[in-house]
Amino acid sequence: MSAKRKRIWRNDLVALVFLLPFTVLYMVFTIYPVIQGLYMSLFKWGLMGKQDFIGADNYTRFLGDKFFWGALWNTTKFVLYSTPTIILMSLGLALLANRRSPLKRLYRAAYFTPNLLSVSVISFLAIYILQPYGMGFISNLLKTLGVQEEIFFLKDPQLVWVSIVGTTAWWTCGYNMMLYISALQDIPDQLYEAAAIDGASPSKQLWSITLPLLKPTTLLILLLQLIASFKVFAQIRLITNGGPGHATRPLIQYIYQAAFEKNRLGYAAAMSYALFLILVVLSLIQLKATREGDR
Amino acid sequence: MTNKKSIGGILLEIVSILCMVIILIPVVWMIAMSFKTEGQQISNTWQYFTPPYTLQNYVTIFQTSKVLTWMMNSLFVALIVTALVITISTMAAFALAKIRFRYSKFMYFFFLLGLMVPTEATIVPLFVTANRLGLIDTYLGLILPALAGSMNIIIMRAFFMGIPNDLIESATIDGANELHIFLQVILPLGRTVIVTIAIFTFIGNWNSYLWPYLAAMSEDLFTLPLGIPTFIGQYTQDKVLPMTINTIASVPIIIFFIVFEKQIVKGISLSGIKG
């Protein structure tokens, strides 16, 4: 009995040693900030620290702040535009790069390449490609082809979204394409062979075999994409800095500005919980979906 | 079906090549521009890609910017983070997967909780916490918060669970303790998942932006993603130097990809849950 008890204690101790380094960091930098943020959100809080206890004021204030809603709406717009674009493009690229072709590996590597570039690099590439007056690549190409019209990609409130979403899609599609390719490879060849014997055309096979079997992967990508898109910040900050006006400023940028430019950390912490809530709901759905997918 | 090269097949091949060209043009343009002379007038698009070429821009960049410092910082931070993530995550995942202890389930759910905490939504309190610990504007400040995500542990645990217990039991009978089992059974058998996570941790940290943007204040501590915008900020007119610094920042990671292509491709499908 006591030997058994000794073993239990020993196992606990060994487990503790193995778990300790990560657990400490996890508590300090992942869990504690959540609590600290809740606490801060109840105060008027500057960069120098705590000032006044104001209860739920920060929350009621941001709920009536039109810039908060504007920024949240911009983030939502980005999510709504980018998610279908990215899913369709990734699927298209995956289908192209999964065909029997001598250049298959090259296609995959090429389609994936932008994914490797740093967000700063892709942002400046976008800026330089989209510059007007023959300075940017597209403008120059149009001039070379004889088109005289100028397009102001980053000044027009509609086109600026096309530019941001286009850049993001170009940058991130490769990753989702790889997810699609691995799902495509899991579809047994016999299904296609049987369909071909029955005389189904390749496009019929695509609609009745490939696309239905890709549904779980599409769901996974959809959720990953929603979560990632609600966190959008860096490329918008670098390409448009939220402009023209505040037309593209995402929520994270507004939170950042409230905290580090306006010195209202408590207010920023409170607003963060709106984002937090959205992301928690999405990750719960994702967790549930992937678990069901595993079964 | 294979010997009948249909018109459809050829068309798809052309579409694939077109997509490849469109996707790669910005990257090729970036590299081509880095070899152009500053101030050259470009009258038609071809001239972006045709000679004369020069290496002067690279000389200028290395002489006038801190790009080497930033690159070393990126490399240093990414390597240290990767090494530490692998060390502490394999240890924790091993404990969760293979040591029978009380609170094992509890710890697992406690870590699962972390998957729902996005850094993006806790940057403000994270900054305050790091500031109190004196971590702002230090290497440690860039490194430590990057180690605290629980995703890797969840993935590794699932993978380690699949390692047969027989192997562990026979090692125990031979007198091995947990440390031996960890080093001699788990790590070798978990190679695939460890390499995959290492590669993704490295790429992710080499490119990470938001936290370093908050935590690094002085130019000497900047990583490449932070340094590039500060440098380019001074050159609004000519694209040649900005494109050179972009190229310098991109080439190492592209080479990294070419070297590890197989693992990266395999890794993406393996870690479908990675956000």
Tens-place pLDDT, residues A21-38: 999 999 999 999 999 999
User: In this complex, is the C-beta atom of B50 within 8 Å of any C-beta atom belonging to chain A?
Assistant: no
Range of the domain at A13: 2-36
Residues A122, A79, single domain; the answer is: yes
**CA angle in degrees (0–180, nearest 5) for A238-B250-B63:** 90
Average pLDDT of the residues in B208-228: 92
The model's pLDDT over A193-208, given as tens digits with 9 standing for 90+, comes to 888 888 888 888 888 8
pLDDT at site A107? 93
Tokens read off for B106: 């509890």
Q: What size, in residues, is chain B?
A: 275
Residues A74, A161, single domain; the answer is: yes
Residue A259 in any domain: the answer is yes
CB nearest B124 (choices: A32, A220, A255): A255
Cβ pair B269, B200 in contact under 8 A: no
Average pLDDT of the residues in B246-251: 91
Q: Which residues of A touch B148 (CB under 8 A)?
A: 25-26, 28-30
Residues A22, A161, single domain; the answer is: no
User: In this complex, is the C-beta atom of B121 within 8 Å of any C-beta atom belonging to chain A?
Assistant: yes
pLDDT at site A72? 95
The model's pLDDT over A126-184, given as tens digits with 9 standing for 90+, comes to 999 998 887 888 988 988 888 888 889 999 989 999 999 999 999 999 989 988 998 89
**CA angle in degrees (0–180, nearest 5) for B40-B242-B232:** 125
What percentage of chain A carries pLDDT values higher than 90?
52
Distance from CA of A113 to the nearest CA of B (A): 7
In terms of Cβ atoms closer than 10 Å to its own Cβ (0-12, 13-18, 19+), residue A266 is: buried
At A96, which CATH number?
1.10.3720.10
Three-class SS string for chain A? Answer: CHHHHHHHHHHHHHHHHHHHHHHHHHHHHHHHHHHHHHHHCCEEEECCEEEEECCCHHHHHHHCCHHHHHHHHHHHHHHHHHHHHHHHHHHHHHHHHCCCCCCHHHHHHHHHHHHHCCHHHHHHHHHHHHCCCCCCHHHHHHHHCCCCCCCCCCCCCCHHHHHHHHHHHHHHHHHHHHHHHHHHHCCCHHHHHHHHHCCCCHHHHHHHHHHHHCHHHHHHHHHHHHHHHHCCCHHHHHHCCCCCCCCCCCHHHHHHHHHHCCCCHHHHHHHHHHHHHHHHHHHHHHHHHHHHHHC
Average pLDDT of the residues in B18-35: 94
Q: H or E stretch including B198?
A: helix B191-206
Residues A32, A61, single domain; the answer is: no
Residue B117 in any domain: the answer is yes
Residues B40, B72, single domain; the answer is: no
Residue A156 in any domain: the answer is yes
Tokens read off for B189: 């058998």
Residue A43 in any domain: the answer is no
Per the listing, tokens 């690099």 go with A121
Confidence of residue B1 (pLDDT cuts 50, 70, 90): very low
Backbone angles phi, psi at A45, to 5 degrees: -135, 125
Residues B32, B128, single domain; the answer is: no
Buried b (16+ CB within 10 A) or exposed e, B107-133: bbeebeebbbbbbbbbbbbbbbbbbee
Residues B38, B84, single domain; the answer is: no
Residue A271 in any domain: the answer is yes
Residue B2 in any domain: the answer is no
Residues B49, B133, single domain; the answer is: no
Residues A119, A32, single domain; the answer is: no
pLDDT at site B247? 94
Per the listing, tokens 């690094």 go with B216
Q: What size, in residues, is chain A?
A: 295
| ipTM metric | 0.87
Residues A119, A23, single domain; the answer is: no
Residues A28, A82, single domain; the answer is: no
Residues A86, A140, single domain; the answer is: yes
Range of the domain at B16: 7-58
Alpha-carbon distance B98 to B157, whole Å?
A: 9
At B222, which CATH number?
1.10.3720.10
The model's pLDDT over A240-279, given as tens digits with 9 standing for 90+, comes to 999 898 999 999 999 999 999 999 999 999 999 989 998 8
pLDDT at site B2? 47
Among B158, B127, B28, B145, smallest CA distance to B77 is for B145
Residue B171 in any domain: the answer is yes
State CA B135 to chain mean position distance. 22
Residues A102, A212, single domain; the answer is: yes
Tokens read off for A132: 């007007």
pLDDT at site B257? 87
Alpha-carbon distance B214 to B122, whole Å?
A: 12
More confident residue, A170 or B38: A170
Residues B29, B88, single domain; the answer is: no
User: In this complex, is the C-beta atom of A133 within 8 Å of any C-beta atom belonging to chain B?
Assistant: no
Residue B275 in any domain: the answer is no
The model's pLDDT over B100-153, given as tens digits with 9 standing for 90+, comes to 898 899 999 999 888 888 888 899 999 999 999 999 999 999 999 999 999 899
Residue A48 in any domain: the answer is no
Alpha-carbon distance B232 to B236, whole Å?
A: 7
Number of domains in chain A: 2
Residues A128, A95, single domain; the answer is: yes
Residues B112, B222, single domain; the answer is: yes
Taking each helix axis from N to C end, the angle separating B67-98 and B224-232, rounded to the nearest 10 degrees, works out to 150
Residues B54, B190, single domain; the answer is: no
To the question of pTM greater than 0.90 for the whole model, the response is no
State CA B241 to chain mean position distance. 25
Stretch 56-85 of chain A: residues touching chain B, C-beta under 8 Å: none
pLDDT at site B258? 87
Number of domains in chain B: 2
Residue A29 in any domain: the answer is yes
Residues B101, B192, single domain; the answer is: yes
Residue A44 in any domain: the answer is no
Backbone dihedral region for residue A43 (phi beyond 0: left; psi -120 to 50: alpha; all else: beta): beta
The pairing of strands A43-46 and A49-53 is antiparallel
Backbone angles phi, psi at B236, to 5 degrees: -85, -25
Q: Do A124 and B15 touch (CB under 8 A)?
A: no
Residues B14, B137, single domain; the answer is: no
Nearest residue of chain A to residue B255 (CA atoms): A116
In terms of Cβ atoms closer than 10 Å to its own Cβ (0-12, 13-18, 19+), residue B34 is: buried
Residue B166 in any domain: the answer is yes
Confidence of residue B236 (pLDDT cuts 50, 70, 90): low
Alpha-carbon distance B75 to B220, whole Å?
A: 14
Cβ pair B217, B130 in contact under 8 A: no
pLDDT at site B270? 67
Residues B170, B189, single domain; the answer is: yes
Residues A240, A122, single domain; the answer is: yes
Mutate to test the interface with B, among A5, A8, A19 (most CBs of B within 10 A): A19
Residues B51, B94, single domain; the answer is: no
Mean pLDDT lowest among A11-20, A43-52, A116-125: A43-52
Residue B183 in any domain: the answer is yes
Q: Which residues of A touch B92 (CB under 8 A)?
A: 18-19, 21-23
Residues A186, A284, single domain; the answer is: yes
User: In this complex, is the C-beta atom of B111 within 8 Å of any C-beta atom belonging to chain A?
Assistant: yes
Residues B218, B95, single domain; the answer is: yes
**pLDDT surpassing 90 at residue B196:** no
